[in-house]
Every structure is written in C-alpha cells, then in structure tokens.
Amino acid sequence: MTETQPGQVRLETGGHVATITLDRPAKLNALTGEMTAALAAHVAAINADPQLRVVVLTGSGRAFCAGSDIAELDKYPTPWDFGQREDYGDILRTLRKPVIAAVNGYALGGGLELALACDIRLAQPGATFAAPEIKLGWIGGSGQSALLAHAIGPSNAAQMLLTGDPIDAATAQRWGLVSDVLPPGELMGRAQELAAVIARRAPVAAQTAKLNLRAAYEMPLSRAIDYERHLQTICFGTADAAEGRAAFTERRDPAFTGQ
C-alpha cells in the first residue's frame, strides 16, 4: 500500500483500489484552495494509472466534507474571480473510474456536491446531508440542483435547496440519495468490499458503464439507447470481453487486464 499526504488530502492505494481521504478534521474537512489542488493532482494520478480501477472517497473525523472553507471566499477580488476558481466537484467528475462515496458524517454544501459527483454513495447513521448555501445568501454552483433532482426527485430537491435544512442518513436512503446505511464501524469496510468487487470486473466495461450512466441523464431515451449500443460494441471488441467469454465457456473466473 502506498500513501501520499499533500494539501491535507490523503491518497492511499492498495491493489486496484485508490482511497482519497479529506483530512482536515478540525475544520470538518472544509476545502481550501490547497486541498483542491491536491485533489486535482490525485485525480490526475489515478486516471493515469491503469492499475487503479476504483476510487473510495471519504473524510476524517466527524465529517465527510463541509464544503468550501468560508474564510477563504472573501479573498476573491470579484464575483467573476470566484466563479472562475478551480471547482472540486468538476475535478471529481473528471475521474474516469468508478467512485464510491463513504459518507461518514456531515456532507454540507460543496461536500454534498462532492458526494453527488460520486457514482455510488454509502453512509453511516450519523451522516447528515444539507444544501445550506441559501442560509448564507447564495446557492450551490457545482451541479447541486440538477444532481439532487436526478438523485431524489424535484420535490425533495426543492425542499433541501429552498430551506437549507439537513436530512439524516435514513431520509437520504429513503429518498435515494444513498444506496445503503451501514452500522458504525462498518462503513469503510463495506465501501472497500464494494470497491474490490467492482475492481474485479472488466475495467473498460466499468468505465464505459459509468460514462453511459452519465450520458443517459442528458439524452432522450432513443439517443441514450443508441449511444449505449455503440459503447457496447466498443466493449465487445476488447481483449477483456474475449476473456470473459472464454472464462464463461471454461467455467473459471475471468482475469481482466483492462485491454
């Protein structure tokens, strides 16, 4: 296992799984510019490493992420400069590999947006989700409204966005924001277990499935089905697909290489 610690964002790798931990617990893992740059470096490294197939994102202490460090926001000379800053939600969305959010506590504002940028979300009972920006006079800016509406429906999304009030993990699961709520102490174990399962699948197919899911949000049904069929054709031509067919015929586990 390898580990790096630039910018209070830790990256650990083991096998085919990368784990990114936001590690500023005294500030509820609120993100600074330095942390955003570190996250960008980690994402670029993961994308460039063919051995890394799945990512787990979590936080240290009692928070997943409380969004941006509010104390840093006044440093921008103009609203335009603020709007042109490097956005951590955008950065996370550039990950081509599947991402599992292990939401261990507060997921607030930009932290909620980070969770929404992940493909699968797990939580523990003490996790709290909120879009509190409206209480401070603004709204989220990293896809919060669109992603929430897709995840939990327009009425539930409106309730969160217009009140800024939090929901607990049980409500988040009932609304479809998270897939599962794990007992205390089991969250990371389940996230790593799920990551290991996905890592055993064909990497090209897994990345293609992620791409296809995101495209399905943006396309009419007929175009989405056509797009899926083209992606299926690409996958079918890979060495991994041939290996999968051979393993099925020979009644053995496939050994996928990402080719």
Active site amino acids = 113, 133
Residue 208: CB partners within 8 Å, gap ≥ 6?
A: 231, 234, 235
DSSP state of 31: B
Of 61, 62, 60, 59, residue with least CA distance to 88:
59
- In angstroms, the Cα distances linking 106 to 66, 156, 168, 182 are 6, 19, 10, 15
- Rounded CA separation 16/6 (Å): 21
**DSSP secondary structure string, 170-208?**
HHHHHHTS-SEEPPTT-HHHHHHHHHHHHHTS-HHHHHH
Of 112, 126, 114, 130, residue with least CA distance to 56:
114
| Ramachandran region, residue 238 (left: φ > 0; alpha: ψ -120 to 50; beta: rest) | beta
Do 27 and 69 form a contact (C-beta atoms < 8 A)? Answer: yes
Do 23 and 60 form a contact (C-beta atoms < 8 A)? Answer: yes
> How many CB atoms neighbour CB 147 within 10 A?
21
